[in-house]
Amino acid sequence: MKDIRSLSKEELLEACETLGEKKFRAKQLWEWLWQKSARSFDEMTNLSKDFRAKLAKEFTFHTMTIANSQRSSDGTIKYAFRLNDDHLVEGVLIPTSDRVTACISSQVGCSLSCTFCATGFLKRERNLRADEMYDQVAILREEAQKEYGINLSNIVLMGMGEPLLNYANVMAGMERVNAPDGLGMSPQRITLSTAGIAKMIKKLGDDGARFNLALSLHSANNEQRAKIMPITDTNSIDDLVEALNYFHDKTGTRVTLEYCVINDINDDPLEAEELVAFCQRITCKVNLIEYNPIDLAEFVSSSADKIERFANYLESKKVIVNVRRSRGKDIDAACGQLANKLT
């Protein structure tokens, strides 16, 4: 049977007519699927029992469930979501005093093998469907209200997987999150984070992506970056500069550079100089991120003093920089840690 949420509006209308229902039922059904985030036909209480029974006979309704959660002392909550085929992906709620950010995944596992990332040690099983990315947002939106009493304010695609290797599903899922007849969240509150696939960054520009873009850079030196991010071998620093400038020219959106500061890997003065040189070639700001260690690698975060010196140097060269402290240190907060333990 076909998944009901794989149907377009036109296909849903046709399906309703085939089942002997009036056209307006398709609109009601669409609202249940994408505005009210229904997870079963039984929840659709303004549809007749007979119609719901016919829908259940003709269509499947794949949804995800919360398989596990961990709460940090700083309020961060990490979730493992169980998919309909029994795979696991992760999502995180990150609260501050006035907002809550949801971090969601785009793939089951990852193929990029970044050496500092727990997801890099997981085999990429498959891409997530558009409805599965939508479901993560819908569930985390409910959890934000329940846990903090605050509406979900921001979404970051920084969880498991590389979003630009699942381009069509990511774009379709975020369209359902943004749409007035979906969850209605502003695209300016969404950030897509990529390890750096130059041709797909350009495609984002060509397609007029309205959300924010973040590049996981972590080193502006080709040789050093390739040691921790093998994708650098086919997407060099020069390739990324060209792609980011293309994206900015097309969209007018300033890019954020994510830079996990790892002790004795990318935190020396030369790395800082090379990062400044990179920043001078594009329109950007920098987030220096305190590295969250993982069990599968021996990397550790730089000291607070080193990070401060690194940030001060960037600021002295007129680079816009923010220091992001690690959240959820007392739980399996790094991407892939919880899934690795539960798999």
As a three-state string, the secondary structure of 150-188 is CCEEEEEECCCCCHHHCHHHHHHHHHHHHCCCCCCCCHH
Q: Give the pLDDT score at 333.
A: 57
Evaluate whether 343 touches 68 at the Cβ level (below 8 Å).
no
Q: How far apart are CA 127 and CA 334, in angstroms?
A: 20
Active site residues: 90, 335
Q: Give the pLDDT score at 296.
A: 86
Full set of structural domains in the chain with CATH: 2-60 (1.10.150.530), 65-342 (3.20.20.70)
Tokens standing for 338?
Answer: 């919880």
What is the pTM assigned to this prediction?
0.93
Q: Give the pLDDT score at 332.
A: 65
pLDDT at 253 over 90: yes
Q: Give the pLDDT score at 340.
A: 46
Average pLDDT, the chain: 94
Q: Give the pLDDT score at 337.
A: 52
Kindly indicate the confidence band of residue 338, based on its pLDDT and cuts at 50, 70 and 90.
low
Each residue of 89-135: pLDDT tens digit? 999 999 998 899 999 999 999 999 999 998 888 989 999 999 999 99
Q: Give the pLDDT score at 341.
A: 47
**Number of H-type helices and E-type strands within the chain:** 11, 14
Tokens standing for 187?
Answer: 């695209």
| Triad 258, 247, 198: Cα angle to 5° | 70
pLDDT at 329 over 90: no
Q: Give the pLDDT score at 343.
A: 44
Could you count the other beta carbons within 10 Å of the beta carbon of residue 321?
19
pLDDT at 342 over 60: no
